[in-house]
Chains A and B, each alone.
Chain A
Amino acid sequence: MEGDGTQDLKHCDRDDVSHLALDIGGSLIKMVYFSSSSGCSSDDQINGYLKDGFDVSSGTSNHRVLRRKLHFLKFETSKISECIKFISSKHLQYGDQDDKDLDSDKNIVKATGGGAFKFADLFKEKLGIILDKVDEMSCLVAGANFLLKAVNREAFTYMESQKDFVQIDHKDLYPYLLVNVGSGVSMIKVNGDNDFERVSGTSVGGGTFWGLGRLLTKCKSFDELLELSHQGNNRVIDMLVGDIYGGTDYSKVGLTSTTIASSFGKAISENKELDDYRPEDVARSLLRMISNNIGQIAYLNALRFGLKRIFFGGFFIRGHAYTMDTISVAVNFWSKGEAKALFLRHEGFLGALGAFMNYEKNGFTDIGHQFMQQPSANKSSTHSDVQDNGCIECRVEVRD
Chain B
Amino acid sequence: MDSLREREDHQELNIGIDGNLNIDNLVDDKVKFNFDIEKDSNGTVLGREEQLGDKDMAPMAGNSIHRSSSRPQLDLSGAAIQGNFEEKDPTILLPNQSDDISHLALDIGGSLIKLVYFSRHENHPFNDRRRKIIKARLGIINFNRRSFPILGGRLHFVKFETSKINECLDFIYSKQLHRGGMDSRSWQSEGPNTENTVIKATGGGAYKFADLFKERLGISIEKEDEMNCLVSGANFLLKAIRHEAFTHMEGRKEFVQIDSNDLFPYLLVNIGSGVSIIKVDGDGVFERVSGTNVGGGTYWGLGKLLTKCKSFDELLELSQRGDNRTIDMLVGDIYGGMDYSKIGLSASTIASSFGKTISENKEIEDYRPEDISLSLLRMISYNIGQISYLNALRFGLKRIFFGGFFIRGHAYTMDTISFAVHFWSKGQAQAMFLRHEGFLGALGAFLSYEKHGLDDLMVHQFVERFPMGAPYIGGNVHGPPLGDLNEKISWMEKFVLKGTEITAPVPMLPPGTTGLGGFEVPSSKGDSLRPDASKLNVGVLHLVPSLEVFPLLADPKIYEPNTIDLSDHGELEYWFTVLSEHMSDLVDKAVASEGGTDDAKRRGDAFARAFSAHLARLMEEPAAYGKLGLANLLELREECLREFHFHDAYRSIKQRENEASLAVLPDLLMELDGMNEESRLLTLIEGVLAANIFDWGSRACVDLYHKGTIIEIYRMSRDKMQRPWRVDDFDIFKERMFGSAEKKPHKYKRALLFVDNSGADVVLGMLPLARELLRRGTEVVLVANSLPALNDVTAMELPEIVAEAAKHCDILRGAAEAGGLLVDAMINIQDSPRESSLSVPLMVVENGCGSPCIDLRQVSSELAAAAKDADLVVLEGMGRALHTNFNAKFKCDALKLAMVKNQRLAAKLINGNIYDCVCRFEPAS
Query: Chain A residues in contact with chain B, CB under 8 A?
Result: 25-27, 76-78, 113-115, 117-120, 135-137, 182-184, 198, 200, 202-208, 210-212, 214-216, 218, 222, 237-239, 241, 243-246, 248, 250, 252-253, 259-269, 273-274, 277, 282, 289, 292-293, 296-297, 300-301, 303-304, 334
Task: Return the 8 tightest CB-CB contacts between A and B, nearest first.
Answer: A114-B334, A244-B204, A207-B355, A265-B297, A207-B352, A262-B297, A264-B301, A211-B354
Q: Which of B273, B334, B352, B357 contacts A115 (CB 8 A)?
A: B334
User: Which single residue of chain A is at the shortest CB-CB distance from B345?
Assistant: A201
17 pairs across A/B with beta carbons < 8 Å? A25-B334, A26-B334, A27-B352, A78-B360, A114-B331, A118-B333, A200-B424, A207-B355, A207-B356, A216-B306, A244-B273, A246-B207, A250-B226, A260-B274, A261-B204, A262-B297, A268-B312
> Are B336 and A118 touching (Cβ within 8 A)?
yes
User: Which single residue of chain B is at the shortest CB-CB distance from A245?
Assistant: B204
> Are B352 and A114 touching (Cβ within 8 A)?
no
User: With A114-B340, A208-B355 as given contacts, are A263 and B329 in contact (CB-CB < 8 Å)?
Assistant: no
User: With A183-B351, A208-B379, A268-B301 as given contacts, are A262 and B273 in contact (CB-CB < 8 Å)?
Assistant: yes
Q: How far is the CA of A25 from the CA of B333 in the complex (A)?
A: 10
User: Which single residue of chain A is at the shortest CB-CB distance from B336?
Assistant: A118
> Are A293 and B292 touching (Cβ within 8 A)?
yes
Q: Which of B216-231 contact A (CB under 8 A)?
A: 225-227
Query: Among the interface residues A26, A78, A113, A137, which one has the most CB atoms of the partner chain B within 10 A?
Result: A26
Q: 18 other contacts beyond A200-B390, A260-B293, A267-B301, with CB at 8 A cut-off?
A: A78-B360, A184-B329, A184-B355, A200-B386, A207-B352, A210-B355, A211-B327, A216-B305, A243-B110, A244-B205, A262-B293, A267-B305, A269-B163, A274-B305, A289-B294, A296-B292, A300-B394, A301-B390
Collect the chain A residues with CB atoms within 8 Å of residue B340's CB. Answer: 114, 136
Collect the chain B residues with CB atoms within 8 Å of residue A300's CB. Answer: 290, 387, 390-391, 394
Q: How far is the CA of A208 from the CA of B358 in the complex (A)?
A: 8
Q: How far is the CA of A293 from the CA of B300 in the complex (A)?
A: 18
Collect the chain B residues with CB atoms within 8 Å of residue A182's CB. Answer: 352
> Are B343 and A215 touching (Cβ within 8 A)?
no
> Are A204 and B379 touching (Cβ within 8 A)?
yes
Q: Which of B109, B226, B334, B357 contacts A113 (CB 8 A)?
A: B334
Q: Which of B208, B288, B334, B351 contacts A245 (CB 8 A)?
A: B208
Q: How far is the CA of A277 from the CA of B302 in the complex (A)?
A: 12
Q: Which of B205, B226, B293, B308 contacts A263 (CB 8 A)?
A: B293
Collect the chain B residues with CB atoms within 8 Å of residue A204's CB. Answer: 294, 352-353, 379, 383
Query: Chain B residues in contact with chain A, CB under 8 A?
Result: 109-111, 162-163, 203-205, 207-208, 225-227, 272-274, 276, 288, 290, 292-298, 300-302, 304-306, 308, 312, 327-329, 331, 333-336, 338, 340, 342-343, 349-360, 363-364, 367, 372, 379, 382-383, 386-387, 390-391, 393-394, 424
Collect the chain B residues with CB atoms within 8 Å of residue A243's CB. Answer: 110, 204
> Are B302 and A264 touching (Cβ within 8 A)?
yes
User: With A78-B358, A118-B336, A262-B273 as given contacts, are A252 and B227 in contact (CB-CB < 8 Å)?
Assistant: yes
User: Which single residue of chain B is at the shortest CB-CB distance from A210?
Assistant: B358
> Are A211 and B301 touching (Cβ within 8 A)?
no
Collect the chain A residues with CB atoms within 8 Å of residue B363's CB. Answer: 215, 218
Whole-angstrom distance from the CB of B806 to the nearest CB of chain A?
A: 68
> Are B354 and A239 touching (Cβ within 8 A)?
no
> Are B342 and A248 touching (Cβ within 8 A)?
no
Collect the chain A residues with CB atoms within 8 Å of residue B205's CB. Answer: 244
Collect the chain A residues with CB atoms within 8 Å of residue B109's CB. Answer: 244
Collect the chain B residues with CB atoms within 8 Å of residue A198's CB. Answer: 343
Q: How far is the CA of A238 from the CA of B110 in the complex (A)?
A: 12
> Are B352 and A211 touching (Cβ within 8 A)?
yes
User: With A207-B358, A296-B292 as given contacts, are A245 and B207 in contact (CB-CB < 8 Å)?
Assistant: yes
> Are A267 and B304 touching (Cβ within 8 A)?
yes
> Are B342 and A135 touching (Cβ within 8 A)?
yes
Collect the chain B residues with CB atoms within 8 Å of residue A273's CB. Answer: 305, 308
Q: How far is the CA of A267 from the CA of B203 in the complex (A)?
A: 19
Query: Among the interface residues B208, B273, B356, which one has the most CB atoms of the partner chain A within 10 A?
Result: B273
Whole-angstrom distance from the CB of B42 to the nearest CB of chain A?
A: 58
> Are A239 and B379 touching (Cβ within 8 A)?
no
Whole-angstrom distance from the CB of A335 to the nearest CB of chain B?
A: 11
Q: Which of A202, A215, A222, A263 contacts B301 (CB 8 A)?
A: A263
User: Which single residue of chain B is at the shortest CB-CB distance from A24?
Assistant: B334
Collect the chain B residues with CB atoms within 8 Å of residue A208's CB. Answer: 352-355, 379
Whole-angstrom distance from the CB of B443 to the nearest CB of chain A?
A: 19
> Are B274 and A265 touching (Cβ within 8 A)?
yes
Whole-angstrom distance from the CB of A52 to the nearest CB of chain B?
A: 35
Whole-angstrom distance from the CB of B623 to the nearest CB of chain A?
A: 30
> Are A118 and B304 touching (Cβ within 8 A)?
no
User: Which single residue of chain B is at the shortest CB-CB distance from A264?
Assistant: B301
Q: How far is the CA of A297 from the CA of B354 in the complex (A)?
A: 19
> Are A244 and B203 touching (Cβ within 8 A)?
yes
Collect the chain A residues with CB atoms within 8 Å of residue B308's CB. Answer: 273
> Are A27 and B358 touching (Cβ within 8 A)?
yes
Q: How far is the CA of A25 from the CA of B386 in the complex (A)?
A: 24
Q: How far is the CA of A248 from the CA of B208 in the complex (A)?
A: 10
Whole-angstrom distance from the CB of B507 to the nearest CB of chain A?
A: 25
Q: How far is the CA of A263 from the CA of B225 in the complex (A)?
A: 22
> Are A212 and B357 touching (Cβ within 8 A)?
yes
Collect the chain A residues with CB atoms within 8 Å of residue B391's CB. Answer: 300
> Are A262 and B296 touching (Cβ within 8 A)?
yes
Collect the chain A residues with CB atoms within 8 Å of residue B382's CB. Answer: 203
Q: How far is the CA of A87 from the CA of B403 in the complex (A)?
A: 54
Q: How far is the CA of A163 from the CA of B86 in the complex (A)?
A: 86
Collect the chain B residues with CB atoms within 8 Å of residue A248's CB. Answer: 207
> Are B386 and A297 touching (Cβ within 8 A)?
yes
Collect the chain A residues with CB atoms within 8 Å of residue B357's CB. Answer: 210-212, 214-215
> Are B424 and A261 touching (Cβ within 8 A)?
no
User: Which single residue of chain B is at the shortest CB-CB distance from A120?
Assistant: B336
> Are B335 and A211 touching (Cβ within 8 A)?
no
Collect the chain B residues with CB atoms within 8 Å of residue A207's CB. Answer: 329, 351-356, 358
User: With A118-B336, A203-B328 as given contacts, are A262 and B301 in contact (CB-CB < 8 Å)?
Assistant: yes
Collect the chain A residues with CB atoms within 8 Å of residue B304's CB. Answer: 267-268
Whole-angstrom distance from the CB of A305 to the nearest CB of chain B?
A: 11
User: With A26-B352, A136-B340 as given contacts, are A265 and B298 in contact (CB-CB < 8 Å)?
Assistant: yes
User: Which single residue of chain B is at the shortest CB-CB distance from A28?
Assistant: B358
User: Which single residue of chain B is at the shortest CB-CB distance from A221?
Assistant: B358
> Are B358 and A297 touching (Cβ within 8 A)?
no
Collect the chain A residues with CB atoms within 8 Å of residue B383's CB. Answer: 202, 204, 293, 297
> Are A262 and B379 touching (Cβ within 8 A)?
no
Whole-angstrom distance from the CB of B408 to the nearest CB of chain A?
A: 15
Whole-angstrom distance from the CB of A185 to the nearest CB of chain B?
A: 8
Q: How far is the CA of A212 from the CA of B331 in the complex (A)?
A: 18
User: With A118-B334, A300-B394 as given contacts, are A184 and B352 in contact (CB-CB < 8 Å)?
Assistant: yes
Whole-angstrom distance from the CB of B288 to the nearest CB of chain A?
A: 4
Whole-angstrom distance from the CB of A259 to the nearest CB of chain B?
A: 8
> Are B298 and A263 touching (Cβ within 8 A)?
yes
> Are A26 and B358 touching (Cβ within 8 A)?
yes
Q: Which of B298, B338, B394 contacts A264 (CB 8 A)?
A: B298
Whole-angstrom distance from the CB of B194 to the nearest CB of chain A?
A: 23
User: Which single residue of chain B is at the shortest CB-CB distance from A25?
Assistant: B334
> Are B110 and A268 touching (Cβ within 8 A)?
yes
> Are B353 and A262 touching (Cβ within 8 A)?
no
> Are A268 and B208 touching (Cβ within 8 A)?
no
Q: How far is the CA of A241 from the CA of B383 in the complex (A)?
A: 21
Q: How far is the CA of A304 from the CA of B292 in the complex (A)?
A: 18
Whole-angstrom distance from the CB of A114 to the nearest CB of chain B?
A: 3
Q: How far is the CA of A11 from the CA of B390 in the complex (A)?
A: 52
> Are A238 and B293 touching (Cβ within 8 A)?
yes
Collect the chain B residues with CB atoms within 8 Å of residue A117's CB. Answer: 335-336, 338
Q: How far is the CA of A296 from the CA of B389 in the complex (A)?
A: 13
Q: How far is the CA of A118 from the CA of B347 in the complex (A)?
A: 13
> Are A267 and B354 touching (Cβ within 8 A)?
no
Q: How far is the CA of A135 from the CA of B356 in the complex (A)?
A: 23
> Are A78 and B359 touching (Cβ within 8 A)?
yes
Collect the chain A residues with CB atoms within 8 Å of residue B288's CB. Answer: 253
> Are A304 and B351 touching (Cβ within 8 A)?
no
